[in-house]
A and B are shown apart, each in its own frame.
Chain A
């Protein structure tokens, strides 16, 4: 088994190639998943802020009317 993993004298080259492929391709798919989380969070906050602003401006108007 160990000999098989050694790949003759080329083990280091072969395994580093496959390892690098795993890292690069893993990063490429994990990046958008991470991005998605921040996007959802940012948009959530943005909508939250907007709806608050909406309510506040509404209240402000009412107060002005009362005055």
Chain B
């Protein structure tokens, strides 16, 4: 156990993280790109037309994975916030704060694509559908997180305050979700066709899964590259950053 912890601390040291993340980013990035391109081609052209919704259902290959990611990233933020609070691993704070804008972007994407999908389906750009309402509240949670982070000047206490907020938020998300679902079924009845269907055909499931995995890997690549930048700034007075800066900007000038 001790050896494992030691190994984790070693990996989580900013210097090692910077080096390893630099090696991992292209892998994750390229595999994500391949998955996303394959998923898009499959979703746009190969998957059969839905007999009810026509071609408009092809939006769900963006909308549903984006909605999944928006929830997943908030969980990551809360988990890494808790790790940072308990084990004092600075890197976990960096991951949490680097995740927030990406999560907000996915939430925004899920909201807008849901609304675009809703226009031909419901005849209106916005309907107080359970999923869209939950996404909207989730966007508020992300915006609150980012507002708190930018309001506190000292980055260390900002990170810790944000960790608390994320944990409180993640505890509340299921409750909010449940209450919105309940409120929705009460007011809308069964007339609303849900974005995700209870049973989905395999030919539609494949592009959905391709996109979902593509989004996950994309997120890893994006969060690592943001985290690398943050590490450079917070560690700017250490000698290894000086070496890195000399090396990388030198390489660019040549």
* Number of B residues, CB within 8 Å of A: 41
Cβ of A60 within 8 Å of any chain B Cβ, yes or no, is no
A36 CA / B228 CA spacing, docked (Å): 9
Judge whether B218 and A10 touch: CB under 8 Å.
no
A6 CA / B112 CA spacing, docked (Å): 21
Residue with the highest number of chain B CB atoms closer than 10 Å, among A13, A14, A36: A14
Residues from chain A with a CB closer than 8 A to the CB of B218 are 25, 29
Cβ of B102 within 8 Å of any chain A Cβ, yes or no, is yes
| Chain B residues at the A interface, C-beta cutoff of 8 Å | 29, 40, 44-45, 49, 54-56, 58-59, 62-63, 66, 101-102, 105, 108-109, 112-113, 116-117, 119-120, 218, 221-222, 225-226, 228-229, 232-233, 236, 241-242, 245-246, 248-249, 252
Judge whether B236 and A14 touch: CB under 8 Å.
no
List the A residue with the shortest CB-CB distance to B226.
A32
For the complex of A and B, list the 5 residue pairs with the smallest distance between their C-beta atoms, beginning with the closest.
A7-B55, A10-B56, A32-B225, A17-B59, A17-B113
Judge whether A32 and B59 touch: CB under 8 Å.
no
Cβ of A21 within 8 Å of any chain B Cβ, yes or no, is yes
Within the complex, which residue of B54, B63, B226, B233 is in contact with A9, where a contact is CB–CB below 8 Å? B54
Judge whether A40 and B222 touch: CB under 8 Å.
no
Residues from chain B with a CB closer than 8 A to the CB of A29 are 29, 218, 221-222, 225
Besides A10-B120, A17-B112, A29-B225, 8 more A-B contacts (Cβ < 8 Å) are: A13-B116, A14-B59, A17-B59, A17-B62, A17-B116, A20-B109, A29-B29, A43-B232
A16 CA / B117 CA spacing, docked (Å): 10
Judge whether B62 and A18 touch: CB under 8 Å.
yes
Contact string, A34-67, partner B, CB cutoff 8 A, digits 1/0?
A: 0110011101101100000000000000000000
List the B residue with the shortest CB-CB distance to A21.
B62
Judge whether A47 and B40 touch: CB under 8 Å.
no
Residues from chain A with a CB closer than 8 A to the CB of B226 are 32
Residue with the highest number of chain B CB atoms closer than 10 Å, among A17, A29, A33: A17
Judge whether B109 and A21 touch: CB under 8 Å.
yes
Residues from chain B with a CB closer than 8 A to the CB of A14 are 44, 55-56, 58-59
Residues from chain B with a CB closer than 8 A to the CB of A33 are 225
